[in-house]
Structure 1
């Protein structure tokens, strides 16, 4: 069965609110400073419906923030069920430990990088891709809040050396994030050879009360780890990959060296 687009209801309400005010797409577009073709594309789902558009629509239609609220709810509801336990832990984290052998950690991804990752799953519609990207960008706010968690990211060097066109921008973003006092990056160099981290990514979250929550990703999704034995294994493997990584200063220097090979951004 085809998966229902969680944004379809929001688009339906957008059309309904406009119709209730006897406003054509042309008139709405004129007031909102959008072309009629853009308005049509948003309402039919061929162009993504984002928060700035929803906020402007609420202003024009005097809908009291309804569309913005519905859109935020749809974005939250669109998260896969297997990810929600981790997201709840992430929101309440005091420390985040993340190892990635294949990708830049999600909380450090640029919008363009996240979009490319989401599009690599070719069964996703464009609206699903944009929904996931928006959710990921919203999650990153945790690192910008007044009292952010400490973030320690360990990345395999091979991740940084992928030659995609978006990598220059992504590397520059990593360097900016590394300047934040609560963000720490370590790179496992290619010279480390085989190491236990190549068995797969892992995330460990320390909550306010000192307890730990783990999370593992795979091709089918992901799963939380809360059992004592599983957490002990993940903590041990974290120490192993962290010990294989370069110190923070040398890691940042390596990122700068690789970033310089992409030319000016």
Structure 2
């Protein structure tokens, strides 16, 4: 089932199950801790269905996880085919390694930052963008697992210093992520100059059996790197970018310094 069809099914079933429970939109909103206008917006499609809403609806309507399950299906359908092998590896990983010389890694993006990134393609319909924003945020559920993976991310200082209205919020979120014991952030300082990581982003996942899976993205999509030769190259490049990055404490101090330059949120 295509993502759009699944999302429409969710909306239809939300309206139907709410009506069967004998609640109007305002009553349902009070029970779920949302406003009646938000309930209306979700049911008419002017506001996307997100995971917290789906879970709360399942709880109040006693639908046994129906809406959460349908939402997961819709979000998977929203992901491009070339991304699915990496998505599967990311969810199963015990260790994750990320480097991106241009953007905050997807697992740490706020909703507003993710939306801005996905709008780079100005031909995308608004509904498709919202579906992909929801799918990107859903990936972050691995951060809330009882046993999350160890995550090490290297970010270029240039990424932090982009002057943008959404960066203050994004940097504050990044610092909150850094407080989690299983997340380790490192910044390559501007003083490092040219370095091998400028060739492009890379991601690595170590699976439960000890094997590694790599992923590379470009303008046309992305590809998995799972051959011995490709993995050896990616692991070597990872070590290079990690080696020139600041230690964790200095990296956090730099992020805080840049955040302070944005002023109060």
- TM-score tier, shorter chain, comes to 0.7 to 0.9
**1:194 to partner: Cα distance:** 1.1
Match of 2:25 in 1: 29
What corresponds to 2:126 in structure 1?
Answer: 126
Between 1:116-125 and 1:92-101, the stretch displaced more is 116-125
Secondary structure in structure 1 of the residue aligned to 2:253: helix
Worse-matched range after superposition: 123-132 or 228-237 = 123-132
Partner SS, residue 7 of structure 1: helix
Q: 1:144 to 1:50 in 2, by over 3 A?
A: closer
Match of 1:197 in 2: 197
Question: Aligned with 2:94: secondary structure?
Answer: strand
Q: Deviations over 1:34-53 (max 9, x none)?
A: 78876664444333233454
* Distance apart, 1:228 and its partner CA: 0.6
Q: 1:125 to 1:16 in 2, by over 3 A?
A: farther
- Partner Cα separation in structure 1 for residue 144 and residue 95 of structure 2: 14
Deviation, structure 1 residue 182: 1.6
Structure 2 spans left out of the alignment, 5+ residues? none
Q: Out of 169-178 and 116-125, give the one that drifted further.
A: 116-125
Deviation of the 1:78 alpha carbon: 2.1
Query: Aligned partners of 2:37 and 2:108: how far apart in 1?
Result: 34
**Structure 1 match to 2:146:** 146
- 2:116 aligned counterpart, secondary structure: helix
Give the distance between the partners of 2:21 and 2:241, measured in 1 at CA: 61
What does residue 179 of structure 1 align with? 179
1:96-135 paired onto structure 2 within 5 Å: 96-135=96-135
Aligned-partner SS, 1:147: coil
Give me the TM-score of the superposition, normalised by structure 1: 0.85
Greater displacement, 237-246 / 9-18? 9-18
SS in 1 for 2:83: helix
Shifted more, 228-237 versus 130-139: the winner is: 130-139
- TM-aligned CA deviation for residue 103 of structure 1: 0.4
By how many angstroms is 1:155 displaced? 0.5
Instruction: Tell me the number of residue pairs that the alignment of Structure 1 and Structure 2 aligns.
Output: 260
Q: Does 1:262 align with 2:258?
A: no
Q: 1:218 deviation in Å?
A: 1.0
Which residue of structure 2 aligns with residue 48 of structure 1? 48
User: Contact (CA 8 Å) 1:31, 1:60: kept in 2 or not?
Assistant: no
Distance 1:53 1:179 in 2: 26
Unaligned ranges ≥5, structure 1: none
RMSD over equivalenced CA pairs, Å: 2.7
The 2-side partners of 1:52 and 1:256 are apart by 29
Give, in whole Å, the separation in 1 of the partners of 2:236 and 2:52. 44
In our comparison, the structure showing a higher alpha carbon Rg is: 1
Q: Is the 2:115–2:133 contact (alpha carbons within 8 Å) kept by the matching residues of 1?
A: yes
Distance 1:48 1:4 in 2: 11
1:45, 1:180 → 2: CA distance?
35
